[in-house]
Each structure stands twice: as structure tokens, then as C-alpha cells.
Structure 1
């Protein structure tokens, strides 16, 4: 009897262990993200995980005890991967579509007995539907991002990003559109427009948008260099080539533009005898230094600018026609500020912000002050606007700039923006601004050296200006 009792006890323990093991297996199956299905060696379904119903839309009670072949016929599996394992006698991985139309990736692995015969088959199913939907959404998002990026780049190319060029007028937008089209090509560009409209700024914009943007940008104001020095400044000279020439010679400004952009501002002021040499440089891309005989190859993109009517100058034989045609490959006209008054407000906003940061101020304009700025015709264009704003920001009392702080030339201008004779002039306004800057710098620095450093001028010039304005 004792032996029988022990056997019964062992059986109970074994059954209990099996039940505990089965519960543990169920817990593990439920914890696994993938859906799991187990069959015997004939394809009869023995066990499924709880996630089976959510994946296949069929409850556990309905499918247990049936075969995968029956389920395949009912369209639950399309096709049945376990049927393929039983047929091929090896592990299989494949894409599958269930009766709910969900995309699945399934792997089925045979479990063999000691004789190598398939005893069970275990399949793991991963629902790819959400993943594929996300992939499609991601692809669609990528396409949208590419589209938006292209649109943003296009918008950015239409918005001026170089410092100092600000404008909302259609005429300025057209200038920028033209620059965006031609900047990457090495064609000669001629900027025309009155003084102060920003021809140098736009030339830099062309350079920065070009394939030569990493090279130098050399600006030469042809009107600022005396005629007798202009040739040696442009072309350079060999040592001892003329009285006063340096012992080592000098490289010319044209050579310094190697690999970059050469800007000839006020090109109309170049003497006729020198225009022929400029034409040869443009045609042959070679120069010969003053007093030298060796030709030097130069590679640059040419931008010219003038505030004069070039066609009229050529008609009067004051400018070589062949040189004008060389320069006039792409001509861009920059209109005066009086013809694009919608640019005044954004320009004022830009300069106010610029000088507030530069001088650590917190100033703004009274609405009446802005009205007077909008009424004025600005014969000095953007340069005059910038200079006057800098002056009034430095000389006005308080943080709100009233119209009384404006120069008389603006205050007494009529509704057409024109000032009566004797009301003032640009030179006086510029002199007043210069005086204000000198006084401000001297009060802060206390020495001519400090003034020179602050205003980036030479010390002798600083001493002379201090004597003039600090009486």
C-alpha cells in the first residue's frame, strides 16, 4: 500500500509540475510581442497566444483542435506557413496576409523527436501593418520634406540675406531674382543706379551667391584714386619702374582678385587711355605690371558699377564703346529710394536695430518721425537714410526719437518730399553726422588713439577731426 501511495504522490507531483510549467509557458507566450501558434506534426493546432485573436480576428476556442489546412481553406492564413514547413521539412520565413487584410511576417520552425521526425511546429507572427503604414507615412513625409525644403530654398533665394540689403518693393525683388539667376555664371555684370543705392552691396551679393564665393572680393572705387596712380594701383608695378616706386615692386589690385570677384565701382571715371588696357584684361585675362614685360594670367569674375548714363557717355565718346559692350553682358538697374518708398520702413527698422546693437541703445521712432522719413525724397538714397538715422540715434534725447531730432532738410520738405532752396543739403547732414560721431567717440575714449581705433580711421585724421569738432 505504501508503494501505491508513493506512486500516486509522484503522479500528483508530476501533474502539478506539468500544470505549473504549462502556466509558465502561457505566461511567457502572453509576454512575447509576436503572435505564436503551435501545431503537432500533422498540422493540428494545439496552442495559440492570446494575441492571436487581435491579429487574425478569430478566437482561441474556435481554432484549437482544427488543422492549418482547414484554416487555409477558410482564408485565415494566406498561405499557411506551417503547411509549407510540413511539406518542405524545414524552417520557413515568409510574408503572409490574413483575412483582415493585415500584412504579416511569419517564421515557422519544426520541432523534431529523437528519430528526426517533425513532432511539432512553432510559428511566430509579427504584424507589419502598422510598420508598413508608418513606412508609407515616413516616405510621404520625406517627399513632403523634400518639397518643402525646395520651396524654402527657393524662398530663401528670394529673400535678401546679405547684410545691408533690405527691401519689399517689387523692383528690389526683381533685382534679387535676376541675381539669383545669373550669380553662378561667370558673365560680366554691370550695376547702374544713382549714388547710395547699394551697388557695392549688391555686387557682394552676386559674389556670395557665385561659385567664387570662397575667393576674394576686391572692390576698387575708380573715382577715388587719382588718375596718375590708378594704373599702378590696378596693374601693380615692377621695382624701379617710376620715381617713388617701391624697391620690391607691388602687386596690383586686379591680381589680388585671383580666383574671386573684381568689382570696378564708378568705372565711368576711368580715363580713356586706361580703358583700352582694361578692355585687354577683360578679353585676354592677362595683365602686365607697370614697368614690366611679363604677362601674368589672371582669373576673376568682373562686376562693374556706375551712377552715370553709360550709353550717353559712349555717344559723347567719353567712354569706349567696345569696353561698354564688354561690360554690358548683364545690366541690372537699381532704382533710387524715392521710386521704391515701400522699402523705407523695412530699411529704417533694419538700421534702428543695427545701431541699437552697435551702440547699446534702446531707441525707437515716434510715428510722426516715420511720417517725415516717408515724405522725404532721399536724394542720397539708402546711404543718406543710414547716415541720418545713425546721427539722430546718437544725438537725440531719450529713447523715443521725435521728428524734431531730424535734420532741417527733412523737416522742411514738402509733401512731395522736396526741400525748398536753402533748407539744407546732404553735405551738411553728413558733416553733422561726422561731428556727432567724433564727439561721441572722444567722450567715450578720451584720446585720439582711442577715437582712431573706434572709428577705424588713422590717428592723424582723428586728431584733425577732434580739433575741428571739439572746439
Structure 2
């Protein structure tokens, strides 16, 4: 049978004046077209309609849409010719003609065929001069592939959501309160106090030397608080230039000064709205900024630079410093009223050398962490831990962390021995005398000098395994000039 538009014999007689010369157009359309009359009888269709329905023309032409048998795809003479009855499930499930004949308005539907195909139907009425439906023109398009595509999207969406949920769960496990490594009685007491203040919305002041883990305790408090689902924003007060610290903390209003953003700029307190802001090294703030911070604590509002109207905020403040604030108040470098305002809840973290029970679990924790990050499988020999316990740890937990990270990055063998540690350790221990008992501390050496040696050792060993300084910079997430400067500084000291 040639591919031409199919029609019942009397179609041309009655409707030829409407559709002369239309067959050529019907035959090239990518959509199926079906024309039925006011009684719902199919009068004409194109080859695409036949293919989409999966039935030959003789099974469709001259049949009423609503009485097509769903299983056989043929006219069922036993069906009663009552007013619009519900279509049977099958090839014309979802047919639009009966709906249009009743409403005289366009209609759309999804048609499910007996072969499992899904078609999208759009039907339009053709009204006569009396406003009655004379014809119904139905366009049909195969959407099986779209349905399959949608199902695939939903499936992959489910996979992604499951994957993301696992990531979130894993992240919560890593940063959960129980993940804080604590074994010493002193730190257990600090963490017990942290759990108590976490349940409140009180301001917290964390004291302790550089590198003891003040930031980790702050995150612990946030994770245990009612604000855990909101932002935890860390603001290092020492890294912000003095002339910008006010605008960075509180933001600035529109047109505050020349060169500013036209629409203004939100500050750190805006970013942490509803959550927690961690002000690290608060003792380094100027007296002017301290006065503004005092207003935040007292009135829960900030004043943006260039604005005359205060702005209410809902942000919990956790502050930290390695400065002796009592001495700073006595010297006049820290406001007394702010100091008292921060005294609501104070946590004092002891240095690592005073909590030796934490050294071994911390070292093991950092080793496992960087083994996972860099896909390594290092482990400590039995001689390493006694040496770590005897070291002074002037740089506290941060020193231990950086040292182990450097070893994992640069070491070629799997077993970590005492001689594999950087030069921050006593020279006698590095030379291989495992029975040597190093002295406590570093003999009064400046922390800056010790840290410079650590960085030089890590970077120089990394240079041996990398092709360029750019690769080393990328590995440690710093710029090339930083790597070059630290290598030169360490070489001079060596």
C-alpha cells in the first residue's frame, strides 16, 4: 500500500472542498494527524498516524474512537452506542475526540497503546456556521523516548540524591562532635564544657596558644547547637587589612565611598546570618572595631559603613585569641567592657605539651586522614610514638598536623621511622640513634624559625618528587612566589 493519506470513501464527497490538495502536506508531516467527524468516526489519517497507533488503516477508518476494542484494536459491535462513555484502556486510552465533542474546546492527553508506546495528543475542534463541532483534528506525537528520558533523569536524580546524602552523612561523621580527638583529662573537661555551652546561644570566648585547636572546638560547638544547619563562618581578624576590617565584618551601604560597589556589600555577619561567626584572634582588633563589636553583642545589631540606620542580626559569636586579654586590658589595647562582655562562657585550651595523652591518637588520626587524601598506606614504626611524646610541640596540634602531612606527601617507603621526621626534631634523633631521649622543647628557639624549617623541609622534599615549582604550589594550594620565598628563607637558616 502506497504511503498516502487514508480516508473513508465518502470523505472526499462531503469534505473535499475543505481538504483538496492536502494529502501531499499530510504525508510529509512528522506528526500523526487524524480527522474525525461529529460522531467521533475516524475519516482521514496520514501514514505517521498509522505507524504511531500500530494498526493498519482498515482497523481505524470508519470506526468510532470511543468504541475501539482495547485488546484487539478493532471495532467492537457489542459495545452500546450510548452518550460519551469512558474509553477503554489500550490503544486509544486517553483519546481526546470524545472530550472535544462534548466541550467544543481544544484538549490534550497522553495516549497509551497496547504495545507500550506513549503518544501525546493535541485535539482541536472545527466548528460550522452554527457553532457546532463538525470535525476534530488530532495531532499525535511519540513521546516514548521522552518518557524514557524522564525516567532516566529521575533514576539518576535518585542516585545523585543518595550519593549526596551519603556525602552529607560522611561529612557529618567527619566533623561530628565525636570526631574531635580527645583523650587527655584536660581536654575532656574542655569538651564537656563545650557541650554545655553549645546547647545555649551564649557568646563563647576560646583561649589558647596558636595551633592548639581553637577553631576545631568552635566548629564542635556550632555542630552541637541549634544553628548547626546554618552557616559557620570563620573570620581571621589578623588576615584582614586594618583599613578594610570594618567593612569586611559589617559590610557597607550603597554609595558608602568612591570605588565601592554601587549596590553595597554584605559583611561577614550578614553571611553568617542565622548561623555562627567565629572571630579568630579577636585580640588583634583595633579599639574602634572593638567598640562596634561591643554594640553587636549588646544590641544584636550592626552599623554598615556609610549607613545611618542600624541593622538587626541573628548571628552567634564565638571568639578566640592567643592574647592574654587581662594584660591587654591593663595596657589599654583591649576594651574592658568588651572583655567582660566576652566572659559569658570561657574555654581555655591547654597546649599540646600539657596533654600528652592526645599526641598518639592525634598523630594516628592525621596519618589516616592524609593516607586517605593522598591515597597512601603509611604506618608508624614502634619507635615513632615515644619520640613524639618526648617532643616539646611549640607549634601545638598544628605543628603535629603539618609535620605528618609533609611526611605522607614526600616519603617513598610505607613504614615511617624516627629519622623520617623533619628537622624540627633534635638532630641526634634524626641521625638514627633510636635510644636517644631528646630534650623537652627546642631550647628557646623562636616559633617562626622552627616553622620555617618545617616548611623548608616539606617543600624541598616535594620539589624532589615534582617537575616544577608550579606543581608544588598546586599541591599545597599556594602560589608559586610563596613556595619560592619559603624555600629561600629555609635555605638561609639552614
TM-score (normalizing by structure 1): 0.60
> Could you tell me whether the CA contact under 8 Å between 1:217 and 1:261 is conserved in 2?
yes
Determine if the alignment matches structure 1 residue 432 to structure 2 residue 447. no
Q: What's the CA shift string for 1:371-415, capped at 9, x where partnerless? A: 221110101000000001111222233111111111223134864
Match of 2:483 among 435, 442, 465: 465
> Could you tell me whether the CA contact under 8 Å between 2:253 and 2:304 is conserved in 1?
yes
> Could you tell me whether the CA contact under 8 Å between 1:438 and 1:466 is conserved in 2?
no
5+ unaligned residues in a row in structure 2: which ranges? Answer: 1-173, 430-436
Match of 2:441 among 418, 437, 446: 418
Query: Distance in 1 between the 2:267 and 2:371 partners?
Result: 39
Structure number with the higher helix fraction is: 1
Query: Distance in 2 between the 1:249 and 1:221 partners?
Result: 22
Specify the alignment match of 2:408 in structure 1. 393
> Could you tell me whether the CA contact under 8 Å between 2:463 and 2:469 is conserved in 1?
no
Q: CA shift at 1:439, angstroms? A: 6.3
| Greater mean alpha carbon deviation, residues 403-412 or residues 336-345 | 403-412
Specify the alignment match of 1:283 in structure 2. 298
Match of 2:182 among 161, 167, 177: 167
Match of 1:263 among 271, 275, 278: 278
Total equivalences in the alignment: 306
Per the alignment, do residues 469 and 276 of structure 1 end up closer, same or farther by CA in structure 2, a change over 3 Å counting?
Answer: closer
Equivalent position SS for 1:167: coil
Specify the alignment match of 1:211 in structure 2. 226
Query: Distance in 1 between the 2:444 and 2:200 partners?
Result: 47
> Could you tell me whether the CA contact under 8 Å between 1:364 and 1:401 is conserved in 2?
yes
What pairs with 1:445-464 in structure 2 (closer than 5 Å)? 448=470, 455-457=476-478, 461-462=479-480
Query: Distance in 2 between the 1:160 and 1:171 partners?
Result: 21
Per the alignment, do residues 263 and 437 of structure 1 end up closer, same or farther by CA in structure 2, a change over 3 Å counting?
Answer: farther
Determine if the alignment matches structure 1 residue 186 to structure 2 residue 201. yes
> Could you tell me whether the CA contact under 8 Å between 2:201 and 2:316 is conserved in 1?
yes
Query: Distance in 2 between the 1:246 and 1:319 partners?
Result: 32
Determine if the alignment matches structure 1 residue 326 to structure 2 residue 341. yes
Q: CA shift at 1:175, angstroms? A: 1.1
What pairs with 1:47-446 in structure 2 (closer than 5 Å)? 161-162=176-177, 165-412=180-427, 415-420=438-443, 425-436=450-461, 442-443=466-467
> Could you tell me whether the CA contact under 8 Å between 2:410 and 2:462 is conserved in 1?
no
Specify the alignment match of 2:98 in structure 1. none
Larger radius of gyration: 1
Query: Distance in 2 between the 1:251 and 1:387 partners?
Result: 34
Per the alignment, do residues 437 and 256 of structure 1 end up closer, same or farther by CA in structure 2, a change over 3 Å counting?
Answer: farther
Query: Distance in 2 between the 1:233 and 1:455 partners?
Result: 27
Query: Distance in 2 between the 1:468 and 1:224 partners?
Result: 19
Equivalent position SS for 1:327: helix
What is the aligned-residue RMSD (CA, Å)?
2.8
Q: CA shift at 1:432, angstroms? A: 2.8
Q: CA shift at 1:238, angstroms? A: 2.1
Specify the alignment match of 1:122 in structure 2. none
Per the alignment, do residues 164 and 431 of structure 1 end up closer, same or farther by CA in structure 2, a change over 3 Å counting?
Answer: farther
Q: CA shift at 1:451, angstroms? A: 6.3
Query: Distance in 2 between the 1:162 and 1:195 partners?
Result: 22
Query: Distance in 2 between the 1:268 and 1:163 partners?
Result: 29
Q: CA shift at 1:420, angstroms? A: 3.9
Query: Distance in 2 between the 1:331 and 1:265 partners?
Result: 14
Query: Distance in 1 between the 2:271 and 2:410 partners?
Result: 40
Query: Distance in 2 between the 1:395 and 1:284 partners?
Result: 52
Query: Distance in 2 between the 1:425 and 1:268 partners?
Result: 24
| Greater mean alpha carbon deviation, residues 383-392 or residues 423-432 | 423-432
Q: What's the CA shift string for 1:307-353, capped at 9, x where partnerless? A: 11111111221100110111110000100000001111101110111
Q: CA shift at 1:289, angstroms? A: 1.1
Q: CA shift at 1:453, angstroms? A: 6.0
Q: CA shift at 1:456, angstroms? A: 4.0
Q: CA shift at 1:454, angstroms? A: 5.1
